[in-house]
Amino acid sequence: MAVKSAEFSVSSTLQQERQVLNNVQGCPYILRCYGEETTTSKDGDMVYNVLLEYASGGTLAHLINNGGLQETHVKRYTRSLLIGLQHIHACGYVHCDIKPENILLVPSKNGDHNKFVAKIGDFGLAKRSELSKRHKFDPYLRGTSMYMAPESVTGDRVQEPPSDIWALGCVVLQMLTGKRAWETINSDDFMSRISDKYVLPKIPSDVSKEGREFLKGCFVKNPMLRLTAEMLLNLPFVQDLNEMDELLEDVPDDALKINFSFALYNGDDDDEDEFRPAPFSDASFSDDLRFTGDSQISYFSEDDEFVKVQVPEEDNQRESKRKKLFDDNVNCLGNVSSIPTGV
């Protein structure tokens, strides 16, 4: 398990991410969220933590840094990401920051330590789609510039499901070539070129016919004509792949049961000012954490993280601390001041 943490006073982005993860769970290609908890650092600061599936393979960015991937691997990862995006969009969300750094690699269940399953993570910039019944007006532009779709940086600055598809195309091209889609231009040139309806990312000639067809479906300047995740899944590039057989075994439902121990703001869409009980989980981690907070101005995501992620201690230490923390808190439901320190 991995723990993503931020000081509670500046954790609204992380709490929002947790809420989105709650609403998009159920897809094997989205990073699993096990719950949330609040602890106190050695300095007495309240810390908000989200408990996530540990991706021991790192990120897709690390894999691509070693050069372009074999097309067979690109197809497999692409299919996983398409299924994940199809689920996210069906749940009424736009991820807004699809890029290799936000795609995590989890070992496959077949025991091959060199084979990984790609899962979508980092929902800190995700937003409701305009088609969602719970959509609220959002004036902010989110994401990483080099992966943004034309409609996101020009005109009305629209960010909807087709924008995620454009970003996916950039990721697929990067997997095939080892370079970003707009690698050879600076940010100023990027803005002018992506605004030009005749300029598209260059697809190398050595990419297969199926790969070129797939990328052309992603790189349609008009978002209304861009292929959806469902349409792309029917293209030859990602057909005839039995990715589901490579997934980790599903965790039994009873293994994910969480006990309620104390209250914290849960970021519920129906009542944003309401405090609700937050689940206690079995994470165990050190006190000397480094934190960064939310930005109230920019929602752009480059290579810097809003929050820090760490891997917890060994299972036996985690279990003993979990039991002690739960015993100390079981009678303190709703009493934030009763949260023990030094966890």
* CA nearest neighbour of 180 among 19, 65, 296, 311: 65
Confirm if 79 and 233 have CB atoms less than 8 A apart.
Answer: yes
Selected catalytic residue, list 43, 45, 97, 282: 97
Q: How close are the terminal C-alpha atoms of the chain, in Å?
A: 16
Clarify whether 268 is annotated catalytic: no
Q: Helix 209-218 and helix 161-177: axis angle, to 10°?
A: 150
* CA nearest neighbour of 219 among 185, 196, 245: 196
The C-alpha R_g of the chain, in whole angstroms, comes to: 21
Alpha helix positions (H), the chain? 12-24, 60-64, 71-90, 150-153, 161-177, 187-195, 209-218, 229-232, 315-329
Catalytic residues: 97
